[in-house]
Structure 1
């Protein structure tokens, strides 16, 4: 999957052959991502091996509750974006989580990847609503949802265990009606800063 703007940005499943590059990217960005990464409320280490991580994602994808994707830029891994907690029936919604390495932050990559995933989720995946929950201190992610014109829905108190504590998150959403038939990527193209 691409964003339709630049074929050098590709969203695809993470595979076995990505192990060394993925582990190196995560290791190089440990300190950068730590303030935003989920942690275990019990304090227990939650690290799993790479093969187990892939199997878990594959199982959830088969069950239809997860769309796990890797962000690839010019043939190298840059981060990940997932639609998770996918609900069907009368709900037709999911949440989106994402990360990119520090070297790719501020380049529009996250915004374009999120837009492409939103277009897929609200289109072929058949969802009606998608949401993104962001820590109030995460100014970069707040800028991403602002560029894509997500609607803010409020604050979720102590919503997720992040960086060792229960953290508040600002909640943002898009529905099919919010996009008025316009691709989400187009919402960004119309408002993107110069040079991105």
Structure 2
């Protein structure tokens, strides 16, 4: 992939919009990462689920990105900004996942920093939230590394893995972007 097709480029990773052409690579990575993702998230696992997932990002209230290893272009993670509200609020809710073959190498940290800069730059947002199940230590460490602040606990916040789950609310605002690694 040409570097001109990326929205943002870092030292090790780059981000670009999720594309329907990513389907086979994405689904293969989801299969390889099932143990890593359970019980925290349930990414699309079939072609039909992927098509519905990708279609969600064609409106004004969601943005979907893949994080790619810069030298090979291989997908190493996915990040989305959901429930984008404009006007005085200018906020969105983050969703993200590393993929098993590349998990633990810091790629998602680098990719999320690029997405945050994109959100506060071209997208014109002011606030991003990450809602994390308290037991998801990897996700908690990710947002802590980037400087998110813990704002509280939302009981029974999201329906995940067959039950309503509590989530911690972590937030990052445009004023905090200067502290990104």
TM-score bracket for this pair, using the shorter chain length: 0.7 to 0.9
Shift of 1:95: 0.9
Q: Paired residue for 2:64?
A: 68
**Partner deviation per Cα, 1:16-71 (whole Å, 9 max, x = no partner):** 322211111111112221211159xxxxxx9944333322322x3xxx11111011
Q: Distance in 2 between matches of 1:69 and 1:9?
A: 12
- So what's the TM-score if we normalise by structure 1? 0.80
For structure 1, the 5+ residue unaligned runs are 40-45, 189-196
Change (3 A) 1:89 1:138: same
Aligned position for 1:191: none
CA-atom RMSD in angstroms: 2.0
CA contact (8 A) 2:155 2:167 kept: yes
Q: 1:33 aligns with which of 32, 37, 44?
A: 37
Counterpart for residue 102 of structure 1: 100
Structure 2 counterpart of 1:143? 141
**1:33–1:47 CA distance, 2 compared to 1 (3 A):** farther
Distance 2:53 2:81 in 1: 16
- For residues 50 and 105 of structure 1, what CA distance do their matches in structure 2 show? 21
2: CA distance, partners of 1:66 / 1:147: 24
Higher CA-based Rg: 1
Aligned to 1:14: 18
Question: For the residues of structure 2 that align with 1:114 and 1:127, how far apart are their CA atoms?
Answer: 15
CA distance in 1, matches of 2:123, 2:78: 18
- TM-score using structure 2 length: 0.86
Question: What secondary structure does 1:147 align onto?
Answer: helix
**Count of matched residue positions in the alignment of Structure 1 and Structure 2:** 171
Contact persistence 1:3–1:115 (CA under 8 A): no
